[in-house]
Structure 1
Amino acid sequence: MRNSFDWTPYRRSTVGFDRLFDFLENSGAAENYPPFDIEKIADDHFRITVAVAGFKNDEIDITAQQNMLTVSGRKAPAKEGEERKLLYSGIATRAFERRFQLADFVRVDKADLADGLLTIDLVREVPDAMKPHKIAIGGGKPSLVDDSKKAA
Structure 2
Amino acid sequence: MDRVPERQARSTDRRRTAVSRIPVFNSPLLLGFDHFEQMLDRVSKTSADGYPPYNIEQVGEEELRITLAVAGFTMDNLEVTIEDNQLVIRGRQVDDDSHRVYLHRGIAARQFQRNFILAEGIEVTSARLEDGLLHIDLVRPIPEPQVRRIKIENSDKAKSKPQTIDVE
Opposite residue 87 of structure 2, the aligned amino acid is L
Deviation at 1:43, TM superposition (A): 1.4
Unpaired runs of 5+ residues, structure 2, are 1-17, 152-159, 163-168
Greater C-alpha Rg: 2
Task: Normalising by structure 2, report the TM-score.
Answer: 0.64
Residue 25 to residue 10, structure 1, CA distance change in 2 (3 Å): farther
Deviation at 1:90, TM superposition (A): 3.8
Residues of 1 paired with 2:21 and 2:106: CA distance? 32
* Structure 2 residue 135 is the aligned partner of structure 1 residue 119: yes
Determine helix, strand or coil for the equivalent of 2:73: coil
Determine helix, strand or coil for the equivalent of 2:41: helix
Deviation at 1:107, TM superposition (A): 1.1
Root-mean-square deviation (Å): 3.3
Opposite residue 104 of structure 1, the aligned amino acid is E
Determine helix, strand or coil for the equivalent of 1:34: coil
Q: Indicate the larger mover: 50-59 or 85-94.
A: 85-94
Task: Report if aligned partners of 2:67, 2:133 keep a CA contact under 8 Å in 1.
Answer: yes
The answer to which structure, 1 or 2, has the higher relative contact order (CA under 8 A, 6+ apart) is: 1
Partner residue, 2:125: 109
Deviation at 1:10, TM superposition (A): 4.1
Unpaired runs of 5+ residues, structure 1, are 144-152
Opposite residue 102 of structure 1, the aligned amino acid is L
Deviation at 1:67, TM superposition (A): 2.2
Residues of 2 paired with 1:89 and 1:16: CA distance? 46
Task: Report if aligned partners of 2:25, 2:37 keep a CA contact under 8 Å in 1.
Answer: no
Partner residue, 2:72: 54
Q: State the aligned residue count.
A: 135
Identity level (%)? 37
Deviation at 1:91, TM superposition (A): 3.8
Residues of 2 paired with 1:142 and 1:93: CA distance? 77
Q: Indicate the larger mover: 31-40 or 89-98.
A: 89-98
Task: Normalising by structure 1, report the TM-score.
Answer: 0.70
Residues of 2 paired with 1:8 and 1:116: CA distance? 26
Counterpart selection for 2:110 from 94, 119, 122:
94
